Amino acid sequence: MHIHRFERFWIGVSLVAIAIFIATVVIGFSVYDLRVIGAEKTVDPQNLQETKFADPGVRKAEPGSEVDYEVYVMSRQFMFNPGTAEPITVPTDAKIRFHITSPDVLHGFEVVGTNLNTMVIPGQVATFTTRFDTPKTYGLLCNEYCGAAHHVMEGRLKVVSKSQFNEKQLVQ
């Protein structure tokens, strides 16, 4: 086969570029601990009343758990519960695990201006862990089309400093 020497060189350069991209992601994943969500568990979207999603909100994690708080969020047409009517309130400097699902259609769960962003799929539980360093109130929005009023599906996520966090508000 005839491949010009410049083109041979370019093939080499291209492969190097590809290797660099993949390596960066691997480094980001392992060194910077920047993860994506995986397969946790499935639920029956027509029977959520038997799960913790029946009583959504922020809970103290079970003793011995690797995280400090668990947040259960129900996304439905066209609100987050909690999130829309009242903000999701979590403390700084704690490991927080979110669990999000939907009883109706696909939704998105995006914390605006952060790298917290996931699909919400009926039948699946989106689970991810994060921590917040500084107190701040973030916007929350649905970024997957979910019906005629999709554009009003929004809310807030309020991060308060650890000392001001009121554990009495937690779901028991």
Partner 1 sequence: MTFIDNYPKSAKIAKANFLVAFIALAIGGLFGLIQALHRTGWARNIISSAEYYTMLTGHGVLLALVFTTFFIAGLFVWGVTRSLDREPENMAFSWSWFWIMLIGTLMATVAILGGFVEGSSIRAAVLYTFYPPMQAHPLFYIGAALLIIGSWMAGADWFRSYLAWRKEHPDERIPLQTYMTLFTMLMWYVCTVGVALEVVVLLIPWSLGWVNQIDPLLPRTLFWYFGHAVVYFWLLPAYFVWYSILPKLSGGRLFSDSMARIVFIIFLILSTPVGYHHQYADPGITVGFKFYAMATTLLLLLPSLLTLFTVVASMEHGAKQRGGKGYFAWLGKLPWGEPAFAGCALAGIMFAAGGFSGIINAAMNINILVHNTIWVPGHFHLTVGTAVALTFMAISYWLVPQLTGRKLKNKTLALIQPYLWFLGMTLMSNAMHRGGLAGIPRRTAEPNYSQFDFEAVFGTISEIKWQIAIGGILLTVSLVFFLWVIFNSWFRGERADKPVDDFIPAALSGPEHAPKILDNIKLWVLLAIALVLIAYSVPLAEMVMDGLFSPGAPTIPV
Partner 2 sequence: MDSNDKKAENESNSETSPSDEKIRELSLEEFNPHGTLALTLLYFVLLLVLWFFMYFVEFAGHGPSILS
168 binds, among partner 1, partner 2, Cu ion, none (CB under 5 to 8 A by kind): none
Closest approach of partner 2 to the CB of residue 148, in Å: 30
Please give the Cα distance from 168 to 46 (Å, whole number).
31
Residue range at the interface with partner 1 (CB under 8 A); choices 13-21, 53-61, 63-71, 164-172: 13-21
Closest approach of Cu ion to the CB of residue 83, in Å: 13
Among 115, 163, 164, 172, indicate the residue that binds partner 2 (CB under 8 A): 115
Among 15, 20, 54, 149, indicate the residue that binds partner 2 (CB under 8 A): 20
Tokens standing for residue 2: 């005839």
Contact between 63 and 94 (Cβ < 8 Å): no
CA–CA distance from 146 to each of 20, 80, 153, 156, 163 (Å)? 37, 12, 9, 19, 38
Closest approach of partner 2 to the CB of residue 51, in Å: 22
Query: Does 160 sit near partner 1 (CB under 8 A)?
Result: no
Closest approach of partner 1 to the CB of residue 166, in Å: 21
155 binds, among partner 2, Cu ion, partner 1, none (CB under 5 to 8 A by kind): partner 1
Q: For partner 2, which is the closer residue by CB, 4 or 168?
A: 4
Please give the Cα distance from 66 to 95 (Å, whole number).
8
Among 67, 119, 170, 171, indicate the residue that binds partner 1 (CB under 8 A): 119
Which among 54, 46, 154, 58 is positioned nearest to 107, based on CA atoms?
A: 154
CA–CA distance from 61 to each of 64, 95, 124, 153 (Å)? 8, 10, 21, 28
Residues 6+ apart with CB under 8 A from 39: 124
Interface contacts to partner 2, rule CB under 8 A: 2, 4, 6-7, 9-10, 13, 17, 20-21, 24, 28, 32-37, 111, 113-116, 118, 128-133
